[in-house]
Structure 1
Amino acid sequence: MAIVTPFLVANPDSSYEISRGGGGNDPMATIGGLAEEAGSQADTPATQGEFRFRLTGFARADDLPEVWLELRDESGGQVRTHRVQVIGVLSDITTVSMNQVHVNSRAIAAVTGEEVRPDTFFIKVSEGAVVREVAQEVERAFLSSALDATVIADSAAQGQALTRGILQLFQGFLALGLLVGIAALGVISARTVVERRQQVGMLRAIGYQPEMVALSFVLEASFIALVGIGLGTGTGIVMGQAIIGQLFSVITAGRTLAVPWGQIGIIVLGAYLFSLLTTILPAIQASRIYPADALRYE
């Protein structure tokens, strides 16, 4: 008997309740090539621990059809084969799915011709027990064997913390780029006031009030900021969905990316407000230009 991971099921369906198997009634997959090859890896020989095939003819459903795998070992100049039946597909959220195919020790011994000595054990802690204390007790009990007990939740938390740290580093660089862009918008606004000094004087001469001149500069800078923010936000969401769908197509199959609209909204609002703050001072300076001084400017 064997249990496989969702990665080996071709075109996996994320729903176990509504999926129904299709195709043949008794599909059989063989590591030697009777199953569907995995994309462009069809001509690439599989190395130890790798499986270059996908199980076809059914979806990940409760009514799993009869599926057989033929395991073959050609090491040592001798070919050993052993057939096992797939009796289940692991869930996407399982914490013990470290290999693509799980079989018992007798099946491995039949293929390799050697007795299997497992080096990893999973211990289920009884309800109400403290996991870390149980791990310490296990290490003390097997101290002579140098056993290392690891809590799966702690290992997952360490991996998530590392990933979160890398993502926060990227977010820091992006925030720095955003601040530089906001500062650049303020510099452009200040330069615009200097370059348009005569135009501002003419507007004041024909009747424009200081508030109207300041508002025109603020509206111009606001339009530039909104266009930049909109393009950046849209591009980021589209590229994020494309990258996640490409890199994690198996994990996210049949699912949609959860866009953090709340965080995005706060960042967009903050960027827009800071952009307005950097343009207020140049706009006030432009509103204080007197027509006579501006028209005398060379």
Structure 2
Amino acid sequence: MAEQKPSAAVRPRPPVPASATHTGVTHIREHQPDRYTVIGNHLAQHAELSLIAIGLATHILSLPEGAAIDIRSMAARFPESRERIAFALRELEVHGYLRRARERTAAGRVITRTHVYDVPAPSAAVPLAPRAAGPRPRRRPAPVEPVPHPAPVQAVPVEPVVAAAVAAAPELPEASGGERHDTAAALLVDLRRTDDRLTLSGRDVRRLAPAVTAWLDNGATPCAVHRTLTACLPADLRNPAGLLGHRLREMLPPPLPEGSARGPGAARPDPFQTCDTCDRAFRSPEPGRCRDCRPPSALAA
């Protein structure tokens, strides 16, 4: 008779410890002999990284060597949009956990090499250091920099009027949701990363999101909206929601024309795609690779 192997014993889970208090977290730890990833508290408890960036870094560190971590692959794996994943990758790049470098191979292809660090590397912030330590101290004393700013600073006396106009502006309805509304809300929330004085409450975000959606519907890009809302802020900013509402209403661009001189049936430009290899944005009717990353045979065809 064949010898029967004993079935693997199921290890019981450790009992939940009784605690005198019912607040705070209680850790139920279990020994994991394999398939685990070591994550430092400097990453898990980072004070400046967003929750999406911390989670994305944890996932990337758990992947094997050579795994694809481009924006398209991460968006196909997680429910977050490409914009949120791209922003999280930029966060990790700024804080030294990720470094991307473009290289040209011997065959002429341009590839992107991505290096991920479990301990942040100071090389990611190097581009900012030489500017501060190099020739910048000699150029800053020149009185040329403050010259373009005095004109927009006149928004300071206008601010009380802006606050009153926003308070009596019922024309901003509650948003009904959708992809554009989510993009508008995320844009308003992220303004505080540029200037912490632009920290908005949830009520202000819901009230201003329809105005940002109107900009997007008229053809403005999120970068253009962000630049308009954060440029030349007054030194004494007391009502950020009022100032943003005033700029969104008074500086709303007109919608793009539907058709060109050839009539409404004219062909529209191809949509933007993200390169599968280097994450560069390019126009194409189909997803794929940009011009620099395509093989020479495809370019000749």
TM-score, L = length of structure 1? 0.25
Structure number with the higher helix fraction is: 1
- The one of the two structures with greater contact order (alpha-carbon pairs below 8 A, sep at least 6) is 1
